Amino acid sequence: MSLKSPLQEIRICFVGESFVNGTGDPECLGWTGRICVNANKKGYDITYYNLGVRRETSTELRNRWFREVSYRLSQKYDGRVVFSFGVNDTTIENGKTRVNFEESITNIHSILSEAKKLYPILVVSPPPIGNEEQDQRIADLSQEFTLVCQELNIPYLDVFSKLINSNIWLEEAKNNDGTHPRTGGYTEFAQIVENWDAWLNWFPTSQIS
Amino acid sequence: MSLKSPLQEIRICFVGESFVNGTGDPECLGWTGRICVNANKKGYDITYYNLGVRRETSTELRNRWFREVSYRLSQKYDGRVVFSFGVNDTTIENGKTRVNFEESITNIHSILSEAKKLYPILVVSPPPIGNEEQDQRIADLSQEFTLVCQELNIPYLDVFSKLINSNIWLEEAKNNDGTHPRTGGYTEFAQIVENWDAWLNWFPTSQIS
């Protein structure tokens, strides 16, 4: 199985927080690297830009994403963006969440509506972290992501509902640093994204000879 | 073999061009990911920030590096920076190099002298690309890196002289896109860095119990 040469080049920026970075994965791939490796195996030539930043909230991301993404994805190339963020908004500090719920929704809407004008984009939900109260807030935020993505006609993948039932994800997060899983958890995350039709549609196998 | 828990956390930004990005490696690790995987195997907990950007010159990097690095490495954490750049400066466009030699040297001095005030830093030479004329210009630039790093007392690793004699590196680059190798070449690059005392000194094994 091989593509007609040359391989189709695609440049993808993954934008978000520590889970996009792959924090905790000793193999330094996370879910984002794993899905790109598998796209390469299908015969694509992926330039993989990982723009996950630990502790970043959606308010901070709103001010960053365009500068870093546009610097890497010039109009000359086939550039695409995958977003996944939100967990840090829901963390309690000084008695309240780092970003209030309404502001998170405003940020999500702003980021995604701007991004979709410029690039093909996909959105992946924030994952659970294994803390019951915070996971409820993440689930609530994921519901808002669903609504915004429906409104903007952007493909949205709810990995939260699957990972909240994943023993591997939750056990690894608990035994690692209480938040981030290791290789097994990220592998599971990657498998969910890899089977998503919107991701698969980015890599049509009909081009494979 | 394991560290006294918790593992020592180190956050490392790798800053440079396509060879830092790992362009061409279907395993999406490049040399930077591979050396971090192996540091994790030694019992460290590395947060791996890959800030390689394709086609970027040292003039462009000079304007970018601080913003992106300082955004990821706050003073609260053990943050370090590895630089490797220069190839794109030596590319001929419109009859001349993209950056002239004197300006490259000025950029190198500016970037490294500023960076060393803020973080522990290491510098890795640009690699060869397999084009005789451009490789000579890269070698000349690498010699200037040597002088600047000596002056600033920054550890500098000349991978150029080794990779210019590497059949794997040169053959993969030639057979891939004429510039970037694939997994074998990046693995070889990684092994050179891994055996460098300045890199090894970042991960003392004396802490391992």
Q: Are the Cβ atoms of A26 and B47 closer than 8 angstroms? A: no
Per the CB < 8 Å rule, is A27 touching B37? yes
In sequence order, which residues have a C-beta less than 8 Å from that of residue A100 and are 6 or more positions away?
none
Which tens digit of pLDDT belongs to each residue from B16-40? 999 999 999 999 999 999 999 999 9
For B204, phi then psi, to 5°, come to -60, 130
| Interface membership of A50 toward B (CB under 8 Å) | yes
User: Count of residues for chain A?
Assistant: 209
Q: Kindly state whether A68 is in contact with chain B, defined as any CB-CB distance less than 8 angstroms.
A: yes
Q: CB contact, 8 Å: A73 with chain B?
A: no
Partners of A26 on chain B (C-beta within 8 Å) are 37, 40-41
B48 Cβ under 8 Å from any chain A Cβ:
yes
Chain B residues with CB-CB distance to A10 below 8 A: none
Rounded-to-integer distance, Cα B138 and Cα B29, Å: 24
Would you say A56 and A15 are in contact if contact means Cβ atoms under 8 Å apart? no
Which residues of chain B register pLDDT less than 50?
1-4, 209
Nearest to B50 among A41, A46, A50 (CB): A50
- What is residue B205's predicted lDDT score, i.e. its pLDDT? 80
Q: Which residue of B has its CA nearest to A71?
A: B53
pLDDT of residue A165: 97
- Exposed e or buried b per residue across A58-86, where buried means at least 16 C-beta atoms within 10 angstroms of its C-beta: bbbbbebbeebbeebbeeeeebbbbbbbb
Verify whether the Cβ–Cβ distance A72 to B53 is below 8 Å. yes
B64 and chain A: CB distance < 8 Å anywhere? yes
**Given an 8 Å threshold on Cβ–Cβ distance, is B29 in contact with A33?**
yes
Q: What are the structure tokens assigned to A182, written together?
A: 């290791």
Let me know: does A126 contact A87? Beta carbons within 8 Å. Answer: yes
CA distance B79 to B115: 12
Specify the pLDDT at position B111.
98
Q: Which of B87, B26, B124, B2 is nearest to A47 (CA)?
A: B26
CB contact (8 A) between residue A21 and residue B50? no
Q: What is the pLDDT of residue B206?
A: 61
pTM (global) more than 0.90? yes
Contacts of B177 in chain A (CB under 8 A): 6
What is the structure's pLDDT at B196? 98
Start-to-end Cα distance in chain A: 7
* Cβ atoms within 10 Å, residue B185: 26
Q: Which residues of chain A have pLDDT under 50?
A: 1-4, 209
ipTM of this predicted complex?
0.95
User: What per-residue confidence (pLDDT) applies to A207?
Assistant: 53
> Do the beta carbons of residue B124 and residue B193 sit within 8 Å?
yes
Find the closest chain A residue to B65 by CA distance: A68
Q: What is the pLDDT of residue A187?
A: 98
Q: Of A190, A163, A196, A192, whose CA–CA distance to A179 is shortest?
A: A163
**C-beta atoms of A33 and B36 within 8 A:** no
| Residue A136: Cβ within 10 Å count | 12
User: Distance between CA atoms of A182 and A160, rounded to whole angstroms?
Assistant: 17
| Residue B7 confidence (pLDDT) | 80
| Neighboring chain A residues of B46 at a CB cutoff of 8 Å | 28
